[in-house]
Structure 1
Amino acid sequence: MADEIGLDLVEIAPEANPPVCKIMDFGKYKYEIAQKAREARQNQTHIVVKEVRLTPKIENHDYETKRNAIVKFLKGGDKVKITMKFRGREQTRPELGFKLLQRLAEDVAEVAFVEFAPKQEGRNMTMVLGPTKKKTEAVAEQKAARAAKEKAALEAAEEK
């Protein structure tokens, strides 16, 4: 019957009694499966972990710069790993680094949550922050903001 129609006979369930077969265009079926897999790959998000390094003796302006970079990463939907590096005698005072990481977590609390609390590992203390928004939401929000900015620029150009 399949040869008469010009299609393929595909065995669906060989373990069933009797085995189940279906008449279909197998090439088209394989193509549709490949398309669905490609679309699924495009829609999946890749979570990136960005790393920022600090020292306990960081100056205020440098701290603000690092904090702004962390906020930018988090708004982009990426996770941020903050590494506090202790050198020399700084290793005897890990509580200073812990306090600084706690302060940083409080400063970025509106865009992030603490995924892994500060933990001492040899000369380094690490903490991981996760974004409150998902990456897909963040990307969509950035696209909308970019489109609004371009629209405003076009309107300003038309007025001139």
Structure 2
Amino acid sequence: MHPAHDPRSVRGTHCFHRGGPISTETRINERIRVPEVRLVGPNSEQVGIVRVEDALRLALEADLDLVEVAPNARPPVCKIMDYGKFKYEAAQKQRESRRNQQMTVIKEQKLRPKIDDHDYETKKGHVVRFLEAGSKVKVTIMFRGREQSRPELGYRLLQRLGADVSDFGFVETSAKQDGRNMTMVLAPHKGAKTRAKVTQVRETGPSDTDASGA
């Protein structure tokens, strides 16, 4: 039998590809038990519909894996790739995504539609500090009684606040009515938390540890 069609040669090369067993979450190599597949090459080139034996042979010749990327297609779509590298990069992206989600803190700042200038400046200062620290801010306008018939007051106030803090953040979610309240979400500009740390170091000087190590 030709070695490319020998399931033992494929199993020995690919199920323990590059030093360890491959996860069975996705069908790969000889686990792809269909007569033919729509094949995508290692450089994302469209090869077309081929027999699964031929697809396995091409993957083996390239020292790569045959990975089923669209099992519900007819025929299934398979791609020739380094599955170990693919899994590693996917795991890295998932960890980075979780880390970003954990780092994103949403603060809330509440205002009244007829707020006076002094209170507005105080509340705006809080919003600026939150944004500088890298946190998102949910701004809530609380309407009472007849104020609910004047939603334009809330819109104008939120637009004013968004413009006033534009150096520190941007409007991620525009103003919208939420029951008796009106809300808007502000997000910090990219790198805001890092800039805040740099500014703090400049203002306070190096830490005791840094000074002792100098």
Candidates 58, 68, 76, aligned match of 2:125: 68
How far does residue 121 in structure 1 lie from its aligned partner after superposition? Answer: 1.6
Amino acid across the alignment from 2:99: Q
Q: Which runs of 5+ in 2 are unaligned?
A: 1-7, 20-87, 209-214
Candidates 159, 173, 197, aligned match of 1:143: 197
Candidates 11, 14, 21, aligned match of 1:18: 11
Corresponding position of 2:107:
50
Amino acid across the alignment from 2:176: K
Q: Which runs of 5+ in 1 are unaligned?
A: 1-14, 25-32, 155-160
> What SS does structure 2 have at the residue aligned with 1:115?
strand
Aligned CA distance change for structure 1 residues 150 and 129 (closer, same or farther; 3 Å): closer
Amino acid across the alignment from 1:93: R
Aligned CA distance change for structure 1 residues 16 and 127 (closer, same or farther; 3 Å): farther
How far does residue 100 in structure 1 lie from its aligned partner after superposition? Answer: 0.8
Residues 106 and 137 of structure 2 are in contact (CA less than 8 Å); yes or no, is this contact kept in structure 1?
A: yes
> What SS does structure 1 have at the residue aligned with 2:187?
strand
Q: Please give the alpha-carbon distance, in whole angstroms, between the structure 2 residues aligned to 1:150 and 1:118.
A: 38
How many residues in Structure 1 have an aligned counterpart in Structure 2? 127
Candidates 74, 80, 83, aligned match of 2:137: 80
Q: Please give the alpha-carbon distance, in whole angstroms, between the structure 2 residues aligned to 1:150 and 1:116.
A: 35
Aligned CA distance change for structure 1 residues 149 and 109 (closer, same or farther; 3 Å): closer
> What SS does structure 1 have at the residue aligned with 2:124?
helix
Amino acid across the alignment from 1:113: F
How far does residue 153 in structure 1 lie from its aligned partner after superposition? Answer: 10
How far does residue 116 in structure 1 lie from its aligned partner after superposition? Answer: 0.9
Deviates more, 1:98-107 or 1:43-52: 43-52
How far does residue 131 in structure 1 lie from its aligned partner after superposition? Answer: 1.0
Q: Please give the alpha-carbon distance, in whole angstroms, between the structure 2 residues aligned to 1:57 and 1:16.
A: 77
TM-score (norm 2): 0.50
TM-score (norm 1): 0.66
Corresponding position of 2:186:
129
Q: Please give the alpha-carbon distance, in whole angstroms, between the structure 1 residues aligned to 2:187 and 2:170.
A: 5
Root-mean-square deviation over aligned CA pairs: 3.1
How far does residue 22 in structure 1 lie from its aligned partner after superposition? Answer: 7.4
Q: Please give the alpha-carbon distance, in whole angstroms, between the structure 2 residues aligned to 1:23 and 1:49.
A: 43
Residues 168 and 192 of structure 2 are in contact (CA less than 8 Å); yes or no, is this contact kept in structure 1?
A: no
The structure whose Rg is larger is: 2
